[in-house]
């Protein structure tokens, strides 16, 4: 995701792109789980730990 607008756009398409609300919400849940997983991993990978003696 490049920015919050893109996240919002994708989430909106997941909800509005399916006339069956239960399927739409399931697709949204899967999308958000993947987004949050990738976001958490990128934060962990970019963090530097400094150990001093």
Could you tell me how far CA 50 lies from the centroid of its own chain?
Answer: 29
Return the number of other C-beta atoms located less than 10 Å from residue 28's C-beta. Answer: 18
pLDDT for the residue 22: 95
Give residue-wise pLDDT tens across range 11-47: 999 999 999 999 999 999 999 999 999 888 777 666 5
pLDDT for the residue 33: 94
Cβ pair 19, 25 in contact under 8 A: no
H runs (alpha helix) in 1-53: 4-16, 21-46
Cβ pair 28, 41 in contact under 8 A: no
Query: How far is 5 from 2, CA to CA, in rounded Å?
Result: 8
């Amino acid at each position: 995701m490049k920015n919050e607008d893109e996240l919002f756009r994708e989430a909106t398409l997941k909800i509005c792109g399916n006339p069956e609300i239960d399927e739409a919400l399931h697709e949204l849940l899967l999308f958000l789980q993947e987004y949050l997983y990738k976001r958490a991993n990128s934060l962990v990978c970019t963090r530097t730990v400094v150990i001093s003696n």
